[in-house]
Structure 1
Amino acid sequence: MIDLRLLREDPDRVRASQRARGEDVALVDALLSADELRRSSGVRFDELRAEQKQLGKLIPKATPEERAELLKKAEQLKTDVKAADAAQDEADAEAKRLLLQLGNIVHEDVPVGGEEDFVVLETHGTIRDFGAEGFEPKDHLELGEALGAIDVERGAKVSGSRFYYLTGVGALLELALVNAAIAQATEAGFIPMLTPALVRPRAMEGTGFLGQAAENVYHLEKDDYYLVGTSEVPLAAYHMDEIVDAEKLPLRYAGFSPCFRREAGTYGKDTRGIFRVHQFDKVEMFSYVDPADAEAEHRRLLEWEKQWLTGLELPFQVIDVATGDLGASASRKFDCEAWIPTQGKYRELTSASNCDSFQARRLSVRMREGKKVQPLATLNGTLCAVPRTIVALLENHQLPDGSVRVPEMLRPYLGGREVLEPVAK
């Protein structure tokens, strides 16, 4: 959530942020009114309680005639205090409800617009000219089936559409990617983490995934647990309700977990293969930092993602995501999109988001510097979303005979294999 002091002092900035996101600007004025009512209700309660306490001191000293009148007044005050307390709780709950609906304040440099209004910041690598090489590229599913690596037919039989099996060398390729990603993150100073895939509502709400993103979240109603769509959720909640000493920052974690997404609203999109699926594994970087260092850490996360994709020898571009596609928690987000030959376009592989103190306020994660205690900042960055990375690897490194060249970085994690060979049917 945002700082209410910012809302009071600069409501126009908050309105501009809402407008840029394509969200309801009226929410800002509703929250201002609710906050004013919350504060005035608190003042009213405090005044009545003070009067009640003062009256309590007078009663023992009063004459019998005065005491009867004072007791009558005390009874009325008791009723008034109870009502004021209830009004204060109601006003506080309403202000909190509205505050949780408000997205983070977008960074001033973020391009304004929707999904297609991003700005390309950098382009890396060379896109292969398959025509010049004398063959038509196959898509990842055709390649994966020939390699004995991907089985979507049986995935659909067992679990339905957008599910799959990674088999044989496909399973080995996932393990290689995960181990290589964790090795890079560990070398960069991240603490490896295996995180829960089921979380309580507060963890999911605290990271901002029960607002506009709620339609893509799986909820187990009987137990009131949520299946995470990213290890960002349990990593953000790891220090929930804690105060961290400033000298211990930054705290960096690399989480590996299964991820689950309903993919609501994507009917007909990416239905072939494993690019858009309901369950996948991912290595996620997560940082807790001093808010003053948040923008610099954001750039560092992006550099680690670029290092990863460069090591995989993939052509990619870096984009500055537009305001309408940020998600509630991020003030700014950089995506790395890899070139997918058979689609003829760049597609998102990694994402790095600066959430400032938005999540920390919701989860009550604070830092102590001297006598000062304040919310810290949280950031997250995908290092390896496994299925999409496999898609990019197979298509970009395919050879004319249907085999796939293994990038040098991955070879130590695949027993020294230099090429993945098709299997006999």
Structure 2
Amino acid sequence: MIDPRTLRDDPESVRASQRARGEDEGVVDKLLSLDTSRRSAIAAADKLRAEQKALSKLIPKASGEERAELLTRGKDLSAQVKAAEVEQNQASEEFDQLHRALPNLVHPDAPVGGEDDFTVVKHVGEPTKFDFEPKDHLELMESFGAVDMARGAKVSGSRFYFLTGIGAQLQLGLLNMAIAQALENDFVPMITPSLVRPEIMAGTGFLGAHDSEVYRLRDDDLFLVGTSEVPLAGFHADEILDLSDGPKRYAGWSSCYRREAGAAGKDTRGIIRVHQFDKVEMFVYTRPEDAEAEHQRLLGWEEQMLAKIDVPYRVIDTATGDLGVSAHRKFDCEAWVPTQDAYRELTSTSNCTTFQARRLGIRHRDQNGKPQILATLNGTLATTRWIVAILENHQLEDGSVRVPEALRPFVGGREVLTPLVKK
């Protein structure tokens, strides 16, 4: 949630953010009206409770007719207090529901627009060119015995798959390389739960407008996570953290599950857009004033990982209309995919400011020891999709693939992947 004080003191900034996202700015005036009603109801209930408390001190000292009048007044006040508390709770609930539906404020420098209105921050490397007809990642993986799409569909349905042989090794190698880098930078490695409670999923901003993307186990009232960002955000829910020694940084390894409900017909070939994949995700708790600098550090660590797999990529500043509910600003690193003649997202890092922490009740102590809402950030270090960029960019004319040097120690020292000999 955004800070209610921002809503009251600078409503135009909230309206501007809503316009930039392509969302309804009228919700701001509705929230202001609800906030006024809520605060009025709280004040009325507090006043009645104070009267009730004062009256309760008079009753033991009174006698006779005066006592009877005070008792009658007490019953009347009790009924008024109950009615006022009902009104207070209702007003607070209406405000809270709408407040929770309001997305985070966007960064003033984020480009305004939709999915295609991003700004390219920089290019690293030139798009890979071949003097032969390159194979796509699925053809390469099948030639190596690295994936079985047919049996994945047989067992689980479309967009599921088995990573087999070197395919499994590549994923494990990538994620282990990511964990190794995270450890070098003092992240705490975590293996996170795949199932979370509704309040944790909602607290991170993944329910509401986009809950159709989330798998839900209704019998258990649990949700499958689409990223370890969710359990890592919930890890310190309702806690006060000590950030005196700097940010708390975690690197979560998890399987991720996404329904891809609105992606019919998109990237159905291979493992680019699937229902399940594995990922190592960075997650940071820090002071709000340090969040922007930390965001740049996360982007730097992502680029450090991309350098290790030696693929051309670009960094984009995501447009406001394409930001998630929780994101204040988001940078994506997109690798070149030769057979698609396009850049495709491999990493994403978001500064969520105090939005998630406010919903989850996570605070730190300021220099005066007073609890304050902290900021959260997240960023990708490696995912299953990275296999696509590695194979397509490093393929050779004979159908083999050169393994990036930094990855070799994590895949048994292999330097080249070669097609299996058909028997």
Give the TM-score normalised by the residue count of structure 1.
0.97
Identify which of 245, 250, 253 aligns with 2:247: 250
Q: Deviations over 1:364-392 (max 9, x none)?
A: 11001232210111000011111x10111
CA contact (8 A) 2:129 2:338 kept: no
**Matches of 2:417 and 2:104 in 1, distance apart?**
45
Which whole-Å CA distance do the structure 2 matches of 1:248 and 1:288 have between them?
12
- Residue of 295, 308, 317 corresponding to 2:314: 317
Classify the secondary structure of the residue corresponding to 2:219.
coil
Query: Counterpart amino acid of 1:24?
Result: D
Question: When the two structures are aligned, how many residues end up with a matched partner?
Answer: 421
1:301 lines up with 2:298 in the alignment: yes
Task: Please give the per-residue CA displacement for 1:127-167, whole angstroms capped at 9, x wherever unaligned.
Answer: 2221xx2x111110011100110111111111111011111
Aligned match of 1:419: 416
Instruction: Please tell me whether the aligned partners of residues 121 and 317 of structure 1 are also in contact (alpha carbons under 8 angstroms).
Output: yes
Residue 69 of structure 2 aligns with which residue?
Answer: 69
The answer to whether the 8 A contact 1:52-1:78 is kept is yes
Contact 2:175/2:383 (<8 A) preserved: no
Aligned pairs for 1:227-242 within 5 A: 227-242=224-239
AA aligned to 1:373 is P
The equivalent residue for 1:374 is 372
Q: CA deviation at 1:64?
A: 1.7
- Residues 191 and 252 of structure 1 are in contact (CA less than 8 Å); yes or no, is this contact kept in structure 2? yes
8 A Cα contact 2:178 2:280, kept in partner: yes
| Alignment deviations for residues 89-142 of structure 1 (CA, whole Å, 9 cap, x no partner) | 111111111111000010000000000000000100122221xx2x11111001
SS of 2:75's equivalent in the other structure is helix
* Distance in 1, Cα, partners of 2:43 & 2:128: 68
CA contact (8 A) 2:212 2:259 kept: yes
Asked if the contact 2:399–2:419 (Cα under 8 Å) also holds between the matched residues in 1, the reply is: yes
**Aligned with residue 151 of structure 1, among 148, 152, 156:** 148
Q: Distance in 1 between matches of 2:163 and 2:284?
A: 31
| Distance (Å, rounded) in 2 between the aligned partners of 1:63 and 1:24 | 61
Asked if 1:292 corresponds to 2:289, the answer is yes
> Partner of 2:244: helix, strand, or coil?
helix
Match of 1:28 in 2: 28
| Whole-angstrom distance in 2 between the partners of 1:400 and 1:268 | 30
User: What do the CA deviations read for 1:203-226 (whole angstroms, capped 9, x no partner)?
Assistant: 100100002221110000000010
**Is 2:124 aligned against 1:124?**
yes
Distance 1:249 1:212, change over 3 A: farther
Runs of 4+ in 1 over 4 A off after TM superposition: none
Tell me if the contact between 1:358 and 1:377 (Cα under 8 Å) persists in the aligned partners: yes
**In the TM superposition, what whole-angstrom CA distance separates every residue of 1:58-80 from its partner, at most 9, and x where no partner exists?**
22333522222222221111100
AA aligned opposite 1:416? G
Q: Say which SS state the counterpart of residue 246 (structure 1) adopts.
A: coil
Alignment of 1:6-405 (within 5 A): 6-130=6-130, 133=131, 135-369=132-366, 370-386=368-384, 388-405=385-402
- Counterpart of 2:237 in 1: which secondary structure? coil
Distance in 1 separating the partners of 2:63 and 2:219: 62
CA distance in 1, matches of 2:320, 2:60: 64
Amino acid at match of 1:34: L
**Partner of residue 2, structure 1:** 2
What one-letter code is carried by the residue in structure 1 that aligns with 2:181? Answer: Q
Structure 1 residues 22-55: Cα deviation after superposition (integer angstroms, max 9, x where no partner) = 1121211111111111111110011001111122
1:211, 1:328 within 8 Å by CA — same for their partners in 2?
A: no
CA distance in 1, matches of 2:20, 2:259: 27
CA contact (8 A) 1:213 1:327 kept: no
- State the alpha-carbon separation in 2 of the partners of residues 102 and 12 from structure 1: 14
Contact 2:151-2:162 within 8 A present in 1 as well: yes
Most deviating of 224-233 and 18-27? 18-27
Aligned-pair CA distance for 1:242? 0.6
* Rounded Cα–Cα distance in structure 2 between residues aligned with 1:68 and 1:181: 76
After TM superposition, give the deviation of residue 4 of structure 1 in Å.
Answer: 0.3
Task: Give distance in 2, aligned partners of 1:80 and 1:112.
Answer: 50
The SS at the match of 1:294 is helix
CA distance in 2, matches of 1:371, 1:284: 31
Deviation at 1:57, TM superposition (A): 2.3
TM, length-normalised to structure 2: 0.98
Matched, 1:407 2:411: no
Give, in whole Å, the separation in 1 of the partners of 2:2 and 2:245. Answer: 24
Please say if residues 255 and 279 of structure 2, whose CA atoms lie closer than 8 Å, have aligned partners that are also in contact.
Answer: yes
Q: CA deviation at 1:261?
A: 0.1
Question: Which residues of structure 2 form unaligned runs of 5+?
Answer: none
Contact 1:353 1:381 in 2 (8 A): yes
Letter in 2 for 1:168: G
Distance (Å, rounded) in 2 between the aligned partners of 1:63 and 1:184: 78
